[in-house]
Amino acid sequence: MKRKCQDYESRLPDNTAMKQQQLPAFRLQLSANEILSGFFAIGLFCLGMGIILLLSAKSIREVEINYTAKCATCAKLREDATNFDKECNCSISFYLPQKMEGNVYLYYKLYGFYQNLYRYILSRSNIQLVGTDVKDVRNCAPFKTSDNGLPIAPCGAIANSMFNDTIVLLYNFNSSTHIRVPMVRTETAWWTDKYVKFQNPTFQNLSSAFAGTAKPPNWPKPVYELDEKDPGNNGFVNDDFIVWMRTAAFPNFKKLYRRLHRIGNFTEGLPAGSYSFIINYNFPVGRFQGQKAVVLSTLTWSGGSSLFLALAYLVTGAVTLLASFSMMAVHLKLKERKTFFLQ
């Protein structure tokens, strides 16, 4: 019996303030006035932030041109798979009424393209994309191997469906002078994607690194020819490829394509005037009833032209203020009743 008591005592926690839960504590007790003040402060802050974000989003200059119907001839040509080797270009003219100052970004936009399908998202090989093993195609069904049995690089449904329209912007200085707007094709991808998640195999000759592999079925050329002029933008580290591989959450989305190179006539941005898009049409959208558009946009400190964040702040602020006034009315009513009974 004595031994059992000793064993029981040995299992007791130490007699310290920490283990006996005797540390000093503080219980926060707020008065009604302090709670109401906090609610009013939060509501006013959210309303203020919402107004600032809304004004910031409204200050963005954006031009969107849907070229699905305007390039109908090319679209019809691309719907026939036997015309894969035939080029088709279309020109779209538009007028920019006001100058787009500062940095200008060129996006392509797709409507009705579901990149968020579960099997589509899984159809890729991260081992392949980091350059560890270019022949690893285990998770890439249904685009794992070519008809000849060679592993596809890059494999998977995401890579195979890569957007491949070529978009060139021309500034029509006058009826006879058309200036190609200088665009930068690099630094469009996230830093972590470019330098962590995507890497080329460690070979001096990139074409040798992909020997024994095949290009995706829908690609006109292999991955090591995406940008032969710039080795830092070729292969798996090509910015256009990396941007496409980051799948979108919604069926209507836009992805960054180019950035304005601010030199010459475009040092301060895009001047007002007449412009044209020359589009080499390659990406078919008719089979899934989709649409394509090109977007020119500026940015602010708060990002793009989306109103979601501004509206979220405004709604939160309005609801908080409404709750504050309701609680204040109840508090004042109860206070009057208490005063009446005390009298």
Residue 340 falls inside a structural domain: no
Closest by alpha carbon to 304, among 99, 66, 58, 65? 58
Residue 1 confidence (pLDDT) above 60:
no
Residue 334 falls inside a structural domain: no
Q: How many domains does the chain have?
A: 1
Residue 226 falls inside a structural domain: yes
Closest by alpha carbon to 160, among 143, 136, 137? 143
Percent of the chain exceeding pLDDT 70 equals: 95
Residue 327 falls inside a structural domain: no
Torsion region of 282: left, alpha or beta (phi above 0 gives left; psi -120 to 50 gives alpha): alpha
* pLDDT for 312: 95
* pLDDT for 271: 94
User: What pLDDT digit, counting tens, does each position of 20-52 carry?
Assistant: 777 777 777 888 888 899 999 999 999 999 999
Residue 341 confidence (pLDDT) above 70:
no
Residue 15 falls inside a structural domain: no
Return d(Cα 221, Cα 30) in angstroms, integer.
Answer: 68
Given a contact cutoff of 8 angstroms between Cβ atoms, the answer to whether 116 and 130 are in contact is: no
* pLDDT for 6: 60
Residue 207 falls inside a structural domain: yes
Closest by alpha carbon to 158, among 75, 236, 105? 236
Q: What is the pTM of this model?
A: 0.83
Other CB atoms within 10 Å distance of the CB of residue 208: 11
Average pLDDT over all residues of the chain: 90
Residue 254 falls inside a structural domain: yes
Residue 246 falls inside a structural domain: yes
* pLDDT for 12: 77
User: What pLDDT digit, counting tens, does each position of 93-137 carry?
Assistant: 999 999 999 999 999 999 999 999 999 999 999 999 999 999 999
Closest by alpha carbon to 90, among 161, 168, 176, 172? 168
Q: Which domain holds residue 236?
A: 62-301
Pairing label, strands 291-298, 62-66: antiparallel
